Amino acid sequence: LKKYTEYPDKYRTVIWKYLLSLPMKKTLFESYIKRDIHPAFKDLYKTYQVKSYRMYNKLARVWSALAHWSPLFAEISYLPDLVFPFVKTIKHDDLVLFEVVMSFLVQHCQLWFERFPSDPVHILRTSIDVIIAKESIILYKHFQKIGFGVAEYAWPLLKNAFSVVLPKEDWLKLFDHLFTHHN
**CA neighbor of 6 nearest in space, from 182, 179, 183:** 179
CA distances, 124 to each of 64, 134, 150, 158, 169 (Å): 28, 14, 6, 10, 26
pLDDT digits (tens, 9 = 90+) for 45-56: 777 778 888 888
pLDDT digits (tens, 9 = 90+) for 133-182: 999 999 999 999 999 998 998 999 999 999 999 999 999 999 999 999 97
The residues near 78 (Cβ < 8 Å, ≥ 6 apart) are 119, 159, 160
Distance CA 40, CA 58 (A): 16
- Per-residue model confidence (pLDDT) at position 124: 84
pLDDT digits (tens, 9 = 90+) for 174-183: 999 999 997 5
Distance CA 15, CA 10 (A): 10
